Amino acid sequence: MSYKIDTMAVHAGRGEFARLGVHAPPIDLSTTYPVADAAEASSSLLEMAQGGQPSGNWVYARLYNPTVARFEEGLANLESTDEAVAFSSGMAALTACLLAARGRRNADHVVAVRPIYGTSDHLLSSDLLGMKVTWAAADAIGAAIDEITPDRVALVVIETPSNPTLDLIDIRRVVDQAGDVPVLVDSTFATPILQNPAKLGATFVLHSATKFLGGYGDVIAGVVATNADWARELRHVRVATGALLHPLAAYLLHRGLTTLPVRIRAAQENAKLLAERLDQHPAVGHVSYPGLREGEDKGLIGTQMEGPGCMIAFEVQGGQDAAIQVLNHLQVITHAVSLGSVDTLIQHPVSLTHKVVPKEVLDACGISEGLLRLSVGLEDVEDLWEDLSSALNQVMPALLQKSA
């Protein structure tokens, strides 16, 4: 399917509805499928167990589920990839990519750029998968690969915009430096509406679908958009390790895709205004929002990314105590981790999402004690500003006293 993105969001993964005679996707909750022809079921099972598509009977729900497959087709359409493979969480999706790349390339090194999501940092830094990570600056990825030797590098991992600092990385330049090493882009903050890394040469486009794709804060899921060969490898890992997406979750995600373009554009308009106003507020230090200040977006807004998105990070003057006090004064905005929901969420990365990352890494990445990460939702922007500014103003007098 190749229509404009709003059309695809509403129609992708729904091609067989006319034949089925339905308007909403059927939810198939079967865990097993009755066998009519033993030989046919047996060869279908073997194909699926190796990551292929069913040739006949679906046999068992760990091998294939049609409700999940429809969501995957929808997401692949939006990312302009051959296929997509869905998992039970974003972390399960990242784990599957690491295992697949390790297996197929017979290499156990990863080159990655900080900052990234705290648990991704933790997974790469830990020895859980028996893989070694080399952290590099985005411009030094090629040099890092050469030093390790390209054959021994399984994967390059980047996140853009980065969590939580909203740094942008030029995906095309990373792909150029990586040569034959596949590049994974965690595109959770951008969504397929604002950025399509596969079009720029990325091999894996990863989303924590828990966030904007789901959109309502009621599904934990992950998905990877990729080419047909790698999709086969990922399904192989999924069948063998079992980190499946449940069909009810897939149904909700597929439904969420239909409103993704309008949700993102509306939240982005709110975010633009809030970023500008936060930048003017005396209780606020540095505001990170792609393109807020000229030159800071490396020319990537309007090219790599269609717009700056719905996430803002800002520093409260007065450090951790002041930042936590601001959170405690909010009425409309919810103090909670996660992001990409219809309602606005805010959290303190040093205490929560990046708690597992060592202090010196946080310092080096500019994740300071006063930093708050805001996921802007669909409320009226004036109500959001009233909430934020009055919380900041209530904390302000204390701040001024302290500095006097």
- Interface with ligand PLP (CB under 6 A): 89-91, 117, 119-120, 159, 163, 186, 188, 208, 210-211, 220, 222
Told to judge if 186 belongs to the known catalytic residues of this protein, a careful annotator would answer yes
Beta carbon nearer to ligand PLP, 186 or 315:
186
Strand 183-186 to 153-159 pairing: parallel
Instruction: Provide the CB-side half-sphere exposure for 330 (13 A, CA).
Output: 21
Catalytic residue among 62, 104, 132, 255: 62
Q: Which residue is nearest to ligand PLP (CB)?
A: 90
CB 51 within 8 A of CB 227: no
Beta carbon nearer to ligand PLP, 14 or 211:
211
Whole-number minimum distance, CB 344 to ligand PLP, in Å?
16
Q: What proportions of the chain, in percent to the nearest 5, are helix, strand and coil? A: 45, 15, 40
Type of residue numbered 79:
E
Catalytic residue among 28, 70, 105, 117: 117
Catalytic residue among 28, 167, 170, 186: 186
CB 236 within 8 A of CB 246: no
Structure tokens at 41: 């079921």
Instruction: Determine the Cα–Cα distance for residues 385 and 67; give it in Å rounded to an integer.
Output: 40
Type of residue numbered 173:
R
Strand partners, 207: 223
Told to judge if 251 belongs to the known catalytic residues of this protein, a careful annotator would answer no
Instruction: Determine the Cα–Cα distance for residues 33 and 93; give it in Å rounded to an integer.
Output: 26
Beta carbon nearer to ligand PLP, 58 or 189:
189
Rounded (10°) CA dihedral 7, 12, 14, 16: 110
Instruction: Determine the Cα–Cα distance for residues 159 and 142; give it in Å rounded to an integer.
Output: 17
Beta carbon nearer to ligand PLP, 64 or 189:
189
Catalytic residue among 70, 211, 235, 263: 211
Strand partners, 371: 315
Whole-number minimum distance, CB 162 to ligand PLP, in Å?
8
Whole-number minimum distance, CB 213 to ligand PLP, in Å?
10
Whole-number minimum distance, CB 159 to ligand PLP, in Å?
6
CB-based contacts of 126: which residues, under 8 Å, 6+ apart? none
Type of residue numbered 105:
R
Told to judge if 117 belongs to the known catalytic residues of this protein, a careful annotator would answer yes
Instruction: Provide the CB-side half-sphere exposure for 14 (13 A, CA).
Output: 17
Beta carbon nearer to ligand PLP, 81 or 163:
163
Whole-number minimum distance, CB 238 to ligand PLP, in Å?
15
Among the listed residues 56, 60, 126, 52, the one whose alpha carbon sits nearest the alpha carbon of residue 83:
52
Whole-number minimum distance, CB 185 to ligand PLP, in Å?
10
CA 324 distance to own-chain centroid = 26
Beta carbon nearer to ligand PLP, 14 or 348:
348
Hey, which residues are catalytic here? Answer: 62, 117, 186, 211
